Amino acid sequence: MARRDTRPDPKEAALAGARCLNPHPEQVTDPEFLASDFFDARDAVQVKYEMVRKVRAGGAPVTGAAAAFGYSRPAYYAAAAPRLRMPPSHAAQLTLPDGTSIRRLAAKIMIGRSSRADIVFRDWSVRPFHAIIRWEAGSYILLDLGASSDTLA
């Protein structure tokens, strides 16, 4: 009886170690991606990059591109969001609509209408806790906290 090789795939192990392993590579259905030997649906970074490129350079609709690469629309927008590549202690700057600048950004900044928010907007279209700017994995990320009005960056 032949023994099955149970050693893990080294590329899969490397992707998992770097926290870049796509948990659902079988959901990638984009024909151009699958037709190339260069692309690997197990590589979440590569899949997300190609999903964003398909929309930005290829003109594909967000919903279609997200589905073809096995992600949701919110996941597309998170992947496509610009990120500041500097730690919070460096010269990051946030400029508010009224022209006020915040030069030192904390690791987490709450934005909203509540007096408990770090940045307070006195506007009824802004929820009491509208959004958070958070330092995560080397980038600042803007998280909308379910506001019915849009959060624009």
In angstroms, the CA 145 to CA 112 distance is 10
Please indicate, yes or no, whether residues 22 and 58 belong to a single structural domain of this protein. yes
Distance (Å, whole) CA 18 – CA 102: 33
Domain that holds residue 46: 10-80
Is the model's pTM score more than 0.85? no
Residues 129 and 103 in one domain: yes
Strand partners, 133: 109, 142
Q: Which tens digits make up the pLDDT trace of 78-107? A: 888 865 454 445 455 667 667 777 666 667
pLDDT for the residue numbered 145? 80
Q: Is residue 99 part of a domain?
A: yes
Boundary of a domain, candidates 80, 109, 128? 80
Gyration radius from the chain CA atoms: 20
- Which pLDDT score, from 0 to 100, does residue 84 have? 47
Domain count, the chain: 2
Query: 14 and 76 in one domain?
Result: yes
Chain Cα centroid distance, residue 32: 23
- pLDDT tens, position by position, 9-30: 888 988 888 888 999 999 999 9
User: What is the CA 87 to chain-centroid distance, rounded?
Assistant: 17
Nearest to 136 by CA among 87, 74, 73, 80: 87
What's the pLDDT score for residue 54? 94
* pLDDT tens track for 38-78: 999 999 999 999 999 999 999 999 999 999 999 999 999 88
Mean pLDDT for 109-137 is 81
Q: Looking at the structure, tell me whether residues 110 and 63 fall in a common domain.
A: no
Q: Which residue has the tokens 């959060």?
A: 151
